[in-house]
Amino acid sequence: MRSFHEKKTYLQPEPSANLIGFMSNSNLTMMPLNPVLRFGAFAFVLLSLVACRPAPNDFVDDFDLVYTSYDVNYNFSVKSTFALPDSVLVIGEGEPDNNLHKFDDLILEALSRHMINLGWERVSPDSSQLADLVMLPMISATEYSSCFMPCWDCGWGYWGGWDYYPGGWGGGWGWYYPPSMACSDFRTGTLFVTLSDPNNANNLAEEIPVAWKGVVNGFLQGSDASIATRLEVNLSQMFSQSQVLKK
């Protein structure tokens, strides 16, 4: 059975009260897990992030998450080349959101740059030379609606006991305002990056083993420039906590 080493990092200066128990100012290294438990644990963290979404005015970069893991039995030291496609695959249910392709150049350039800085050689997909590993970036976006009810029984002032209606109301009653509700829509995005070894593909099962994977999860809120800056920071963190790839 394949075993994975995992690491995740939350990129905020201080732990958030909304995510207490999940946040850490330092990298959190996890012990290898059973594949089912490993997926369940990661899914639980992502679902917890969704459940604890802040109001849209909060600092969205405080909730960015970078997660990486690799196959502890894979020998990266004997590999030296990688290939990268010319676009990022948009995944998700329904029609793909092609607006996400606006970040393709940034993502692909950053992935290539970080791999080369770690000592890898990039091979063109059109080259006759086969790359040792294939890097595949995928991105998805999800829309959420969030409503906040500040007060259900807000009292205001004092009821003076006016008996306009038959039977009247007692003097101790207070004014009642209908509850106010603030609603907003927000969007999250997840970038998945995998390094697979096509040379070890299982043709019978039609499976290609994944040697390393990285995930960036956060809000797709703010200007394109703001999102681009956060992508740069998060991708840098993704590779800085993946020293197993360093040559």
Domain with 100 in it: what CATH number?
Answer: 3.30.160.670
What is the three-class DSSP state of 8?
strand
Task: Give residue 36's domain range.
Answer: 4-149+186-245
Asked whether residue 137 is domain-assigned, the answer is: yes
pLDDT lower than 70: segments of the chain: 1-62, 93-96, 144-186, 204-206
pTM summary value? 0.65
Q: What is the structure's pLDDT at 40?
A: 43
Q: Two tokens at 100?
A: 């996400």
Q: What is the structure's pLDDT at 136?
A: 93
DSSP 207: B
Cβ atoms < 10 Å from Cβ of 170: 8
Asked whether residue 53 is domain-assigned, the answer is: yes
The stretches of 102-173 forming alpha helices (DSSP H) are: 104-117
Asked whether residue 174 is domain-assigned, the answer is: no
Q: What is the structure's pLDDT at 182?
A: 54
Asked whether residue 135 is domain-assigned, the answer is: yes
Q: What is the structure's pLDDT at 125?
A: 82
Q: What is the structure's pLDDT at 142?
A: 79
Cβ atoms < 10 Å from Cβ of 183: 9
| 175 in Cβ contact with 128 (< 8 Å) | no
Asked whether residue 208 is domain-assigned, the answer is: yes
Asked whether residue 157 is domain-assigned, the answer is: no
Asked whether residue 156 is domain-assigned, the answer is: no
Domain count, the chain: 1
Asked whether residue 225 is domain-assigned, the answer is: yes
Distance from C-alpha of 64 to C-alpha of 43, rounded to nearest angstrom? 15
Query: What's at 90, amino acid-wise?
Result: V
